[in-house]
A = this chain, B = another copy of it.
Amino acid sequence: MITGKNYVGSTLKAAGEKTFKTFNPQLDKENPWVFTEATPEEIEETVTLANRAFGTYRNCSGLEKAVFLNAIADEVLALGDNLLVQYCSESGFPMGRAEGERGRMVGQLRAFAQMLAEGSWVQATIDTALPDRLPAPKEDLRKILVPLGPVVVFGSSNFPFAFSTAGGDTASALAAGCPVIVKSHSMHVGTGEMVASAILKAAQKTNMPEGVFSNLVGGGTTLGASLVKHPLVKAVGFTGSIRAGRALFDLASQRPEPIPVFAEMGSINPVVFLPEALKTNSQKWATAYAGSITLGAGQFCTNPGLLIGIKGAELNQFSLELAEAIEKIAPFCMLHPSMKDSFEEGAATMVAQSGVSKIAEYKGEAAPNYGVQKVLTVDGKTFLENKTLSHEVFGPVSILVQCDDEEELLRIVSQLDGQLTGTIIGEANELKEYKELIEGMQNRVGRLIFNGVPTGVEVCPSMIHGGPYPASSDSRFTAVGIHAVYRWVRPFSYQNWPNELLPVELQDENPLQILRTLNNIQTKSKV
């Protein structure tokens, strides 16, 4: 079933000589399939195809694209349990997670399809002419969003479904009208191939142009760099480490024609525990956070890596309860031995820093690639002085920072790098007392949570998954939710253009019955 080849458009190709295999972390052994890296010629052919497809695909109606996205969802589901088994064998995740994440992937595809079928997302804006205006007449102007061109999507390691081949980046770019070239993540490239085959079957069934989707295989950084530097590529989506994301951002910025890179990168997702909340609900929060820290072996961009509180009896109590809860949870399998190694190395580096101590660690036996969760602690002064302690360690480790007072807490929050999320655990009346703290946090994050955990990213229009650098390379856009489509479009104006030649969304009659801004009023009315 797995060919190990590249999908150059709908054609399987593998002219290259470099090959690699994926790894099953649960079984602690290599998987059998052999994958062949794309050659420079295959890359060139793929991009050329995508660019040719753009000429047709950009003019597909919203309804046609909706049918395509729904067909992808259908074809993915048609792969049945085979796909879930493949997913587990290349990620170490359990079946439940596989099924849940497939649901999320399919749900995202359908959400974008619904957005397209409804149609108002193009933000049609019409200002009609005023031929008699003085001193000069006003021309008729009409604005709509148009797709940027071929988009390269880098599969993530930690979401083989929801942020990879047919994940949010691909779904949103296809919704926008951009052909997509996926650089499959090398850890689960077999899963990627299966999902790609579903996308291509859907494209064929719904008469999409050849080249609207391709899926390329590469083990190192050459494939990704070639794609990002290619003049016909117009935007990039990425989820992963700061190092890799920044490297792609730099390549894209240095092109003769710079292009946008939407890199969702590292985050330690600070959580502040206010005293009153700990006094009242310390056990509840200890249990909730033990769960959030260990969920999926901590392999979430929203994993709470930094817990902060003010020294005192409440914080001591919370610390003990958190330790107890953490030690009870059985570890989870990590994605790959290399992930487990990085995690252990990162955690060891943190533990080795002066002033840091370990307050909890799972004590039982753990299978080879399982991430043994740990909670560390340090005082506020030491944390402020040592930048190493605020670097993201991908996996189930968090550090509890114990501050002398509110002022130190405030200093820590205001000196944080940009974050995807920030959380405040407090009683409602406490929030008013910590106004400055909340403002400081707001300035550093994309999403501010009250009395909850940062893990669990709802797919809805009000969600922001992104934040000030380095949480993401462009804080002005979200990677989750239907508004992710706005990363792949640009606004375009028609001046004095004949009605019948305008896109239907801008025509006088409003044939799609979409919501438009007509002379500054939001309306579904005709012009």
Binding site for B on A (CB under 8 A): 55, 59, 100, 125-127, 135-136, 138-139, 141-143, 146, 148-149, 249-250, 253-254, 257-258, 260, 418, 428, 431-432, 438-439, 442-443, 446-452, 456, 458, 460-464, 466, 468-470, 473-478, 483, 489-498, 501, 515, 517, 520, 522
**What residues on B are CB-neighbors of A522 within 8 Å?**
515, 522
Provide 12 A-B residue pairs closer than 8 Å at the C-beta atoms, listed in order of the A residue: A100-B135, A127-B460, A146-B442, A249-B253, A249-B258, A253-B258, A258-B469, A428-B498, A446-B493, A476-B491, A478-B491, A483-B491
B462 lies within 8 A of A127 (CB): yes
Cα separation A460 to B127 with both chains bound (whole Å):
7
**What residues on B are CB-neighbors of A449 within 8 Å?**
139, 495-496
Give the Cβ gap from A297 to chain B, nearest Cβ, in Å. Answer: 19
A461 lies within 8 A of B125 (CB): yes
**What residues on B are CB-neighbors of A253 within 8 Å?**
249-250, 253-254, 258
Give the Cβ gap from A263 to chain B, nearest Cβ, in Å. Answer: 10
**What residues on B are CB-neighbors of A258 within 8 Å?**
249, 253, 469, 473
B461 lies within 8 A of A490 (CB): no
**What residues on B are CB-neighbors of A141 within 8 Å?**
458, 460, 462-463
Report how many copies the assembly holds. Answer: 2
Across the A-B interface, the 9 shortest Cβ-Cβ residue pairs: A141-B462, A253-B253, A464-B493, A447-B493, A143-B462, A449-B495, A475-B490, A127-B462, A127-B460
B139 lies within 8 A of A452 (CB): yes
**What residues on B are CB-neighbors of A494 within 8 Å?**
447-448, 450
Cα separation A461 to B143 with both chains bound (whole Å):
8
Given B136, B447, B492, which contacts A456 in the complex, CB threshold below 8 Å?
A: B136
Given B100, B461, B468, B489, which contacts A127 in the complex, CB threshold below 8 Å?
A: B461
A448 lies within 8 A of B257 (CB): no
B432 lies within 8 A of A501 (CB): yes
Cα separation A483 to B145 with both chains bound (whole Å):
13
Given B260, B448, B456, B483, which contacts A474 in the complex, CB threshold below 8 Å?
A: B260
Given contacts A257-B470, A260-B476, A452-B495, 8 further A-B contacts (CB under 8 A): A127-B462, A142-B462, A250-B253, A258-B473, A428-B498, A448-B497, A461-B520, A475-B490
B448 lies within 8 A of A498 (CB): no
Identity of the chain B residue whose Cβ is nearest the Cβ of A124 in the assembled complex: B462
Give the Cβ gap from A510 to chain B, nearest Cβ, in Å. Answer: 15
A446 lies within 8 A of B492 (CB): yes
Identity of the chain B residue whose Cβ is nearest the Cβ of A429 in the assembled complex: B498
A450 lies within 8 A of B492 (CB): no
Check A462/B492 contact, CB under 8 A, given A258-B253, A439-B55, A442-B146: no
**What residues on B are CB-neighbors of A100 within 8 Å?**
135
Cα separation A431 to B501 with both chains bound (whole Å):
8
**What residues on B are CB-neighbors of A496 within 8 Å?**
449-452
Check A517/B442 contact, CB under 8 A, given A476-B489, A495-B452: no
Cα separation A260 to B515 with both chains bound (whole Å):
30
Identity of the chain B residue whose Cβ is nearest the Cβ of A96 in the assembled complex: B135
Cα separation A428 to B497 with both chains bound (whole Å):
9
Check A138/B493 contact, CB under 8 A, given A253-B258, A257-B469, A469-B258: no
Cα separation A428 to B489 with both chains bound (whole Å):
28
A448 lies within 8 A of B483 (CB): no
B447 lies within 8 A of A492 (CB): yes
